[in-house]
Amino acid sequence: MPETVTGKCLCGKVSFQAQIEARHAGVCHCTMCQKWAGGITILTECQNLKVDESPELGLYRASEWGERGFCRNCGASLFWRMQDGSHANVSVTALDGIKDFTLNKEIFIDEKPEWHSFEQNTKQMTGAEVIALFTEGQAN
Ligand SMILES: [Zn+2]
Ligand SMILES: [Zn+2]
């Protein structure tokens, strides 16, 4: 049974809802997230992401396939999704009142700075492995 979750930005002007299959959190260490979120992003895979209409919703296309959603007012990093809608991830830390997540994945591990790391035992994937997964079956 998918669980419906809600979330919002720091100032509350951009909110969203989505469905998740499991309370699993994944860290992205990519250099784009480092710039975008001021460090890392902690994301969970979701379906049926619905972002409320807000003039403060910003969308930034940092790559040819991805799109990043944020609040223009407070700057919060809220979600990442494929431009074709095939995959979406929301920021676990933007969710309302949900604490019991398990950190079980780290992606773009090859771009992680050497001066920090998580103690959890996670599935680790390089950027090349992640990109191959997301672009599977698409002409390059
Ligand atoms: Zn905001
Ligand atoms: Zn990233």
- CATH number for 22: 2.170.150.70
**Residue 43, in any domain of the structure:** yes
**Residue 54, in any domain of the structure:** yes
Q: What is the pLDDT of residue 138?
A: 59
Q: How far apart are CA 7 and CA 91, in angstroms?
A: 8
**Is the separation of the CB atoms in 36 and 68 below 8 Å?**
yes
**Residue 16, in any domain of the structure:** yes
What is the 137 CA–ligand 1 centroid distance (Å)? 36
Q: How far apart are CA 70 and CA 21, in angstroms?
A: 23
Q: What is the pLDDT of residue 140?
A: 44
What is the 27 CA–ligand 2 centroid distance (Å)? 8
* Number of structural domains found in the chain: 1
Q: What is the pLDDT of residue 50?
A: 97
Distance separating the N- and C-terminal Cα atoms of the chain: 35
Domain that holds residue 115: 3-134
**Residue 140, in any domain of the structure:** no
What is the 106 CA–ligand 1 centroid distance (Å)? 26
Residues of the chain with pLDDT under 50: 139-140
pLDDT tens, position by position, 46-63:
999 999 999 999 999 988
Ligand nearest to the CA of 71: 1
**Residue 27, in any domain of the structure:** yes
**Residue 139, in any domain of the structure:** no
- Does the pTM of the predicted model rise above 0.85? yes
**Residue 84, in any domain of the structure:** yes
